[in-house]
Amino acid sequence: MKLTQLINGLKLQNSIEEDLYDLVIQGLADSSQEVEEGFVFIAIKGFKDDGHNHISHAIEKGANLVVGEQHIEDLPVPYLQVDNARIALGILAKNFYGNPASRKLMIGITGTNGKTTTSYLVKHLLEQNGISCSVMGTIQNIVNGSSIKSANTTPSSLILQKLLALSNDDAVVMEVSSHGLTQHRIEGIEFDVCLFTNLHHEHLDYHGSMDSYFEAKAVLFDHLKPDGTAIVNIDDEWGEKLDRDLLEKGKNVCSIGQLKNSRLRIQSFDMEHSTLRLDDAEETLIQSPMAGIHNLYNSLMAYATALSVGIEKKAILSTITNFPGVEGRFETSKTQSGAVVIVDYAHTPDAVYHCLTTAKEAGANRITHIFGFRGDRDSSKRREMIEITSKISDRYIITTDDLNSVPVEEMRSLYSELNDRYGNEKGFIQMDRTKAIKDAIDSSSEGDWVVITGKGHEKYSHQFEIPTESDKETVNFMVKPPKAD
């Protein structure tokens, strides 16, 4: 591709020589390590490192042009100075890959909880009704039916545009994280449908306050096409605010919820049968394939999305019931003694609340809850999580999650301090996650529930006594121990 096409739409701080417009560009890289001959290197000032310090490395590897934010002179290759290198990366990547999003039905989902579950529900409804669909999110990216490992929930703009160009699918449903939004990872992308699930206490280590966390999430809706639809859960107070803001801007909003002004209004829930009834002329009954009120909301969001892209109501209602579920989201097993074991990715106070309440509503006799806190991550949600579990569970075991840089003994004393302050006598500490699960399963019987939250589909980052690599493997090990030789 020639430079003149590549920089279309890019605002430059410096002027460039006219003969440069014909420069042929072979590829783009935002890491000097990935530069090849004839590439453009985009220098980004990051959170840990600064791409500007790696410019000479990029040139050594063959970069024939560099883009960055600093004022730099006398480079051996041309240099383009921009205001914001992350935005520039988005524009360049979109141009380089030929704006692939413009040829697809684009669906973006944001919110604290429910993005993954809702995106898999939407994919299911689309595909069951003849629309092939890529997924980009926390667990993996799925493109043309193949799974591709994801490093971020929302990929960098460079990876995102590359994946979009690779996709032959009709539609793309992607989780759009607040980090992705503040870091301009969706720069240059316009969506046909944008969803807001809810906003709860999370990532305040990064955003500072709920207000700025909300502002970050709301940016997704600036990427809605003029004729696109916003689907917003207004039973969430931040969703209600978003709905008001979007209506003021003249956007097309399909609000969902119990409030009177909801476009798709919930008349009632039936938790026993996992259904919700809409307050419409037909009193539409939506069957959630997964337990819990939160999954009824996820199902309604997916229903609204499918409706907005033109799938017939009858077809949606019949295909939603055979949704197979999502890895690590309320996955259920039964032990030999008849206890129910749940593995769930809940890692926010609200998600933990929903998970434990769902177990209670399903008739759990005694609930043992196993969970932990991630080292170096949002510490402000820990108090609320302990308070919730100490109220709802009959016993809770605080254990290791990902320690990151925190030594295990430091984490243990932190747990002990937090539990003394905010917990009660139902709480125990067992730093070996697999032993905590074993202990909980061994001491549970028919009708009891063991609810393991926090890691969901993820692999362990640490070794424990039982040689397993995930909560699901540990549960399987306990439920079906390996046969002796």
Ligand X SMILES: Nc1ncnc2c1ncn2[C@@H]1O[C@H](COP(=O)(O)OP(=O)(O)OP(=O)(O)O)[C@@H](O)[C@H]1O
471 touching ligand X, by CB under 6 A: no
113 touching ligand X, by CB under 6 A: yes
Q: Which listed residue (30, 240, 243, 458) binds ligand UAG by CB under 6 A?
A: 30
Residue 217 token pair = 């999430």
Contact, 476 vs 334, CB < 8 A? no
Q: Which listed residue (95, 116, 154, 308) binds ligand X by CB under 6 A?
A: 116
357 labeled binding residue: no
48 touching ligand UAG, by CB under 6 A: yes
116 labeled binding residue: yes
Q: What is the DSSP string of 258-327?
A: SSTT-SEEEEEEETTTTEEEESSTT--EEE-SSSSHHHHHHHHHHHHHHHHTT--HHHHHHHHTT----T
8 labeled binding residue: no
229 labeled binding residue: no
47 touching ligand UAG, by CB under 6 A: yes
Name which of 32 and 138 has its Cβ closer to ligand X: 138
Q: Are strands 141-143 and 146-148 parallel, antiparallel or unpaired?
A: antiparallel
372 labeled binding residue: no
Q: Which listed residue (44, 65, 67, 411) binds ligand UAG by CB under 6 A?
A: 44
Instruction: Compute CA distances 52 → 6, 76, 157, 175, 453, whole Å.
Output: 21, 15, 19, 30, 41
Residue 204: CB minimum distance to ligand UAG, A: 12
Q: Which listed residue (4, 36, 46, 280) binds ligand UAG by CB under 6 A?
A: 46
| Per-residue b or e along 166-205, where b marks 16 or more CB atoms closer than 10 Å to that residue's CB | bbebbbbbbbbbbebbbbbbbbbbbbbbbbbbbbbbbbee
Name which of 154 and 390 has its Cβ closer to ligand UAG: 154
CA-based radius of gyration for the chain: 24
The residue sitting closest to ligand X, measured at its beta carbon, is 114
Contact characters 137-176, ligand UAG, x per CB under 6 A: --------------xxxx-x--------------------
User: Distance between CA 253 and CA 243 in Å, rounded?
Assistant: 7
Residue 206: CB minimum distance to ligand UAG, A: 7
183 labeled binding residue: yes
CA angle 83, 84, 87 (to 5 degrees): 130
294 touching ligand X, by CB under 6 A: yes
Name which of 198 and 305 has its Cβ closer to ligand X: 198
Segment interacting with ligand X, rule: CB under 6 A, options 10-18, 115-123, 211-219, 377-385: 115-123
Q: Which residues contact 382 (CB under 8 A, 6 or more apart)?
A: 373, 418
User: Distance between CA 389 and CA 399 in Å, rounded?
Assistant: 14
Please report, in angstroms and rounded to a whole number, the separation of the first and last CA atoms in the chain.
62
- Site residues for ligand UAG, 179-208, by CB under 6 A, read 179-180, 183, 185
Q: Give the H/E segment covering residue 231.
A: strand 224-233
110 touching ligand X, by CB under 6 A: no
- Residue labelled with tokens 């970050």: 216
User: Distance between CA 142 and CA 174 in Å, rounded?
Assistant: 10
354 binds, among ligand UAG, ligand X, none (CB under 5 to 8 A by kind): ligand X
Q: Are strands 331-334 and 285-287 parallel, antiparallel or unpaired?
A: unpaired
Name which of 378 and 473 has its Cβ closer to ligand UAG: 378
Q: Give the H/E segment covering residue 127.
A: helix 115-128
117 labeled binding residue: yes
115 labeled binding residue: yes
Name which of 197 and 444 has its Cβ closer to ligand UAG: 197
CB atoms within 10 A of CB 482: 7
- Residue labelled with tokens 């809770």: 396
Contact characters 159-198, ligand X, x per CB under 6 A: ----------------x---------------------xx
138 touching ligand X, by CB under 6 A: yes
Residue 405 token pair = 């840089």
- Site residues for ligand X, 445-464, by CB under 6 A, read 456
Residue 339: CB minimum distance to ligand UAG, A: 30
User: Distance between CA 272 and CA 383 in Å, rounded?
Assistant: 31
117 touching ligand X, by CB under 6 A: yes
Q: Are strands 105-110 and 146-148 parallel, antiparallel or unpaired?
A: unpaired
Binding site for ligand X (CB under 6 A): 111, 113-117, 138, 153, 175, 197-198, 294, 297-298, 329, 344-346, 350-351, 354-355, 456
Annotated binding site for ATP: 111-117
Binding site for ligand UAG (CB under 6 A): 30-33, 44, 46-51, 54, 151-154, 156, 177, 179-180, 183, 185
Annotated binding site: 32, 111-117, 152-154, 177, 183, 185
